[in-house]
Amino acid sequence: MKVQDGKISSPSATVKVIQKHLGFTQDGYFGPVTYRAMQRKLGTPVDGKVSRPSLMWKQIQRDINNGVKPF
């Protein structure tokens, strides 16, 4: 059974997929390396942190809303 509860487990299968598409080690953990890679891919400031509000997540939302896969 696949669970969709909105939570990121550690390690996470979803994070592994994101890491695979970003082209680096798939350990399934969200951390500064994954955040920096996501930020670089999305063209947002690269600091390895999720700020509030997050420019990175806003860009992901824009991409998804426009029918574009962010990764």
Summarised one tens digit per residue, pLDDT across range 24-57 is: 899 999 889 998 999 999 899 999 888 888 888 8
User: What is the reported pLDDT for 1?
Assistant: 52
Query: Which stretches of the chain are DSSP H helices?
Result: 13-22, 32-42, 55-65
> Could you tell me the two tokens for 29?
């953990």
Domain range annotation of the chain: 13-65
Mean pLDDT of the chain: 84
